[in-house]
C-alpha cells in the first residue's frame, strides 16, 4: 500500500511538473528532484568546438548549476576581478546575455568554494538566487527585482567552517531553504552570545515573507552539524513531506507547518565530529537514499511511522560493497534504479532501490576527482570532474561511451557544477565558460 500511494503521488507530481515546465531544468536536481529528465536526443560525442550551439565567457568560477526555463538560462556566478557576486540570465538559443545584476562584494570565505555555489530555482514566472553572504533575491524572468532579503541579517550569521551552500527549493507554492549549522561559533562565524539554531525556512515566493521557521535540533557535534544539502519533496503514506538530511539525521517535515514528522539517524552512534554532510537525499521506488560521509555506507530508508525511527527503517546498507558510497555528489534516480557516484573511491554504480544489489560498477575515467552530481537522461549518465572532463556512460551496462575534455583549469579553480539538460541540449559549466551542447 505504501509503494502504491508513493507512486500515485509521484505520478501526480511528475505530471504537474511536465505540464508546467516541459523540457525545463528548473532547479539544481532537475524537474523531478532526482537528477534525471525525460529529454531525448542528447549528444554523446562532441568537443569544445564541435556540436557547440554557443559558449560564453564567465568572469569567475562557481559550482552553481545552470537552470533553464523556456528560452532563458539562469546562472549564479562571480566576477573575480571585481570581487563581485553575480546573478545572470542568458538566451538559451543564442547565448546572448539578457541581463546581469551585481549582488554584493565578497566572493569567497575559503580557498575551496565561492559564495555563489548555490543554484538558482525557478517556477517559470520568477527566479530566486541565494548566496552564502545571506542574500536571497527574486527577479522576474526579465530581470526586474521583485523582492530581496538577507537571511543572515534576519536570523543571525551562519556558523560553518567552510562556505555555506544550500540551494533553495520551490514546491507546491512555497520557497524552502534550510540552514543546518553549528550550535557554537567556528573561526569567528556564528552568534557569540547564544547558541546558533539550525532551521528550515518556508517563504512566500511572491513576496519573500516568512511563512514559518522550524527549528531542527540535533545531537551531532562540531562539524557534523554542518550540512550543504538541499530540501527534497517526498510522500509518506500518501502525505507530501519535505526531506532534510544533516546533523547526523534524516527528517521528514510537514509542508504547511514545517513540523517534524519523523527522524532517523543511526549512522553515527559514536558522534564523530568531522562528518559534515554534502549529498542531498534522493528518493525512488518507495525508499529514501542517504549517503553517510567520508567513505561510509549508503543507506536506503523507509520510515515506519512517526517519531524517532530505529534500525527497522533501514531497507539495506551498502556495507558489503563499499565502493557504493558518496562524500560529495548527490546520487541520481533513473530508469528504476539509483546511480551512485563515489568521489573518494572513484566509482560509479547502478543500484537496485529495494535490495541494494549492484547491477554494475565502473571506475570513473580521467585524471581528476568527480564531485559534481550525475545527470541521468536519454539512456546515459553524464558526469564531469574537476579537470572539466565529461564522461558519457551507458546507463544500461556502465560502458564508457566517451570522455570529452571541456576545460584546462588554472590554479585553484576546478569544475564543480553539475551538468543540466533541457530541450535536447546539455548545459555545461566549466571554470570560465558556459557551453550549450547539442542541436
pTM, 2 dp = 0.94
Pick the CATH number of 2-438 from 2.40.50.100, 2.140.10.10, 2.102.10.10, 1.10.150.120: 2.140.10.10
The answer to whether residues 216 and 243 touch, using CB atoms and an 8 Å cutoff, is no
pLDDT at residue 318, rounded to an integer: 93
Distance from C-alpha of 124 to C-alpha of 142, rounded to nearest angstrom? 11
Strands 314-317 and 332-334: unpaired
Contacts of 194 (CB under 8 A, 6+ apart): none
pLDDT at residue 125, rounded to an integer: 97
pLDDT at residue 410, rounded to an integer: 86
pLDDT at residue 2, rounded to an integer: 39
pLDDT at residue 238, rounded to an integer: 83
Distance from C-alpha of 408 to C-alpha of 392, rounded to nearest angstrom? 19
Contacts of 210 (CB under 8 A, 6+ apart): 154, 201, 202, 203
Instruction: Decide: residue 435, CB within 10 A, 0-12 exposed, 13-18 middle, 19+ buried.
Output: buried
Distance from C-alpha of 56 to C-alpha of 43, rounded to nearest angstrom? 19
The order of strands in the sheet holding 174-179 is: 169-171, 174-179, 199-203, 210-215
pLDDT at residue 40, rounded to an integer: 96
The answer to whether residues 436 and 426 touch, using CB atoms and an 8 Å cutoff, is yes
Closest among 435, 381, 379 to 407, alpha carbons compared? 435
Closest among 83, 222, 210, 231 to 166, alpha carbons compared? 231
| Residues 48-58: b if buried by 16+ CB within 10 A, e if exposed | beebbbbbbeb
SS (H, E, C) the chain: CHHHHHHHHHHHHHHHHHHHCCCCECCCCCCCCCCECCCCCCCCCCCCCCCEEEEEECCCCCCCCCEEECCEEEEEEEECCCCEEEEEEEECCCCCEEEEEEEEECCCCCCCCCCCCCCCEECCCEEEEECCCCEEEEEECCCCEEEEEEHHHHHCCCCCCCCCCCCCEEECCEEEEEECCCCCCECCECCCCCCCCCEEEEECCCCCCEEEEEECCCCCCHHHHCECCCCEEEEECCEEEEEEEECCEEEEEECCCCCEEEEECCCCCCCCCCCCECCCCEEECCEEEEECCCCCCEEEECCCCCEEECHHHEEEECCCCCCCCCCCCCCEEECCEEEEEECCCCEEEEECCCCCCEEEEEECCCCCCCCCCCEEECCEEEEECCCCEEEEEECCCCCEEEEEECCCCCCCCCCCCCCEEECCEEEEECCCEEEEEEC
pLDDT at residue 9, rounded to an integer: 42
The answer to whether residues 287 and 281 touch, using CB atoms and an 8 Å cutoff, is no
The residue assigned the cell 537552470 is 67
Instruction: Decide: residue 402, CB within 10 A, 0-12 exposed, 13-18 middle, 19+ buried.
Output: middle
pLDDT at residue 419, rounded to an integer: 98
Max distance between CA atoms of the chain, in angstroms, equals 57
Q: What is the pLDDT of residues 318-372, one digit of tens each?
A: 975 567 999 999 999 999 999 999 999 999 999 999 999 999 999 999 989 999 9
Residues lower than pLDDT 50 in the chain: 1-21
Amino acid at each position: 500500500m505504501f509503494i502504491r500511494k508513493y507512486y500515485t503521488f509521484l505520478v501526480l507530481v511528475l505530471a504537474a511538473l511536465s505540464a508546467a515546465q516541459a523540457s525545463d531544468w528548473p532547479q539544481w536536481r532537475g524537474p523531478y528532484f532526482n537528477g534525471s529528465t525525460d529529454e531525448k536526443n542528447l549528444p554523446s560525442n562532441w568537443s569544445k568546438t564541435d556540436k557547440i550551439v554557443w559558449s560564453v565567457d564567465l568572469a569567475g568560477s562557481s559550482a552553481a548549476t545552470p537552470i533553464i526555463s523556456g528560452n532563458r538560462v539562469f546562472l549564479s556566478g562571480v566576477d573575480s576581478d571585481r570581487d563581485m557576486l553575480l546573478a545572470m540570465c542568458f538566451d538559451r538559443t543564442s547565448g546572448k546575455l539578457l541581463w546581469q545584476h551585481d549582488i554584493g562584494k565578497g566572493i569567497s570565505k575559503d580557498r575551496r568554494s565561492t559564495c555563489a555555489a548555490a543554484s538558482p530555482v525557478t517556477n517559470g514566472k520568477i527566479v530566486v538566487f541565494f548566496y552564502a553572504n545571506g542574500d536571497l533575491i527574486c527577479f522576474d524572468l526579465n530581470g526586474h527585482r521583485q523582492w530581496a532579503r538577507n537571511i543572515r541579517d534576519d536570523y543571525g550569521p551562519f556558523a560553518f567552517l567552510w562556505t555555506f551552500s544550500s540551494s533553495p527549493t520551490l514546491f507546491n507554492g512555497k520557497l524552502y531553504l534550510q540552514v543546518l549549522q553549528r550550535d557554537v561559533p567556528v573561526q569567528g562565524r556564528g552568534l557569540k552570545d547564544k547558541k546558533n539554531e539550525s532551521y528550515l525556512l518556508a517563504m512566500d515566493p511572491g513576496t519573500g515573507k516568512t511563512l514559518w521557521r522550524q527549528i531542527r535540533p540535533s545531537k551531532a557535534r562540531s562539524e557534523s552539524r554542518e550540512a550543504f544539502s538541499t530540501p527534497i519533496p517526498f510522500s509518506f503514506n500518501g502525505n507530501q513531506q519535505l526531506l532534510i538530511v544533516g546533523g547526523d539525521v534524516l527528517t521528514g517535515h510537514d509542508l504547511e507547518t514545517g513540523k517534524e514528522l519523523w527522524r532517523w539517524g543511526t549512522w553515527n552512534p559514536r558522534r564523530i565530529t568531522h562528518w559534515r554532510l554534502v549529498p542531498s537525499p534522493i528518493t525512488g521506488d518507495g525508499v529514501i537514499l542517504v549517503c553517510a560521509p567520508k567513505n561510509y555506507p549508503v543507506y536506503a530508508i523507509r520510515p515506519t511511522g512517526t517519531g524517532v525511527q530505529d534500525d527497522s527503517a533501514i531497507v539495506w546498507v551498502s556495507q558489503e560493497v563499499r565502493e557504493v558510497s558518496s562524500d560529495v555528489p548527490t546520487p541520481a534516480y533513473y530508469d528504476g534504479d539509483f546511480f551512485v557516484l563515489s568521489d573518494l573511491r572513484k566509482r560509479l554504480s547502478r543500484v537496485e532501490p529495494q535490495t541494494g544489489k549492484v547491477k554494475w560498477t565502473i571506475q570513473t575515467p580521467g585524471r581528476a576527482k568527480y564531485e559534481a552530481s550525475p545527470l541521468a537522461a536519454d539512456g546515459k549518465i553524464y558526469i564531469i570532474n574537476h579537470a572539466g572532463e565529461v564522461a558519457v556512460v551507458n546507463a544500461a551496462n556502465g560502458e564508457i561511451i566517451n570522455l570529452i575534455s571541456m576545460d584546462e583549469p588554472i590554479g585553484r579553480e576546478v569544475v564543480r557544477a553539475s551538468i543540466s539538460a533541457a530541450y535536447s541540449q546539455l548545459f555545461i559549466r566549466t571554470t570560465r565558460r558556459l557551453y550549450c551542447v547539442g542541436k
